[in-house]
Structure 1
């Protein structure tokens, strides 16, 4: 392996390793001119540059609430280098620090704000592809102005635990799959686990998780939690591949839970002691569901959140991140 540079662009001094992937390594670094901390992702130039694609995506999403800033991109020695905002702890680390469970109010606020982030990303012709910040894929062909075609035979993009069933099956991902994955993650944060996971999910293959996932009914998945989570899942499953999601509809289903939570309504993410969610009996799934119609044209007005994900008593801001996209479809 080529020697790692001690500085990038002459002004960023590398420090400790924060994490690594297949090829890229992320370092803590310091801007010696402005004396502030940043993160730097280094990737050998002899590999297809995912960090260059990440830089392009972040610049396209620049200015959105919760989107980290790409501060610099270029070549340093034998590496592609991407300089980013240095963010605080991940939601996963906060989740583990709070005994693997959040309060209902926190989950509702988390869902509300992440839904707003996804809506912003979708409005810029990307889908996230993995609610754990890794993959972002484009769903709209900007040269033709039409939705990418539905395809089969794609490889699994998202993390198996939270991946949509379509992702497991190798189908082309759409906005509906982001929303399905988000709902799984919210249920996980509220319940502390998911029925298709064991105590050590690393031992389960993606095919084993898929088998458990398809054999878990929505009633079982949402047992003991507010019925709104089941309603959201049913809505996302009913969306057609290229159908415009009604983000306001999903948001309203979450916000009504503020009135059922033992804690007063708040938009803060306090990450405090989990409370026991108010539960409602699940409706009979043999009866037909009335799904709110989503107009395909004209598009419903987009909702924009003015709030930032802000942990209680922590100076950092939780932000969505973008990473390697799939190639555009013609």
Structure 2
């Protein structure tokens, strides 16, 4: 079969077939009387083998080695191709992210584009100080894209830089909550923790709804952040988590104060008092737990808490009794002053 026919049937150009011949990749078996290349069936098969390997991203030199060296290990080359392809895709994703960040900033001219690129370079720095500076001191008049800041918040491990990013995101003016929302359902618990802390800095129904939903997160730290933030918004769904925080001694003072604030609503006070009393009577409640619960009662409305504290003043645990007696006296003085 002559070269023109081979090119037509294989889809490989005559020029490329001549190049293969020159490199020794595919040499036609014979020549016609006139000196034209003549390909046999096995030559055609070799052409298709070459094209198949090219489709995997192999260079012609690698293909020549693969087809001629009996000791060549395909798995090694394929593994190397996978790593190089993954690296190329990573670089292309980074480029795509940069382009999207620039586009999201709605640049009006090249100075805006260059400003965003400088911000991106700063956020990509290995230096935490450099990343923080990029957020706190961006180029003049360069808008900070909300999506870019949200992505940086969810990825940032340094607490100081993360704080600066949350501050910048809350003031960026875009829909920061929507940009952070995907982080709340991430499979990575660290990302969910970062997301809930950032969302806690936003007001509005959307943020409150996400925080309330996070009260059911499997991670205790996410639940605690959500409880503290949602309770400040008056969400009583946070009560069980806040009570658990008092029992476990994690941010127990802040949790008790928020329980006290929620109990100012008479419709919720009995529920909160019952939850604290139940934990006080739990067989697993040791002295330290009962002391924290006793102190939490002091944050409740005095008219409800004083009787509980008076009973605890006779508790067999001396430390609990002393604290309860002192707190009961304070509450009674407060009630007398209000009368």
Normalising by the residue count of structure 1, what TM-score does the alignment of the two structures yield? 0.25
- The higher radius of gyration belongs to 2
Higher normalized strand content (fraction of residues): 1
Q: Which has the higher contact order (CA 8 A, sep 6+)?
A: 1
Structure richer in helix, relative to its length: 2
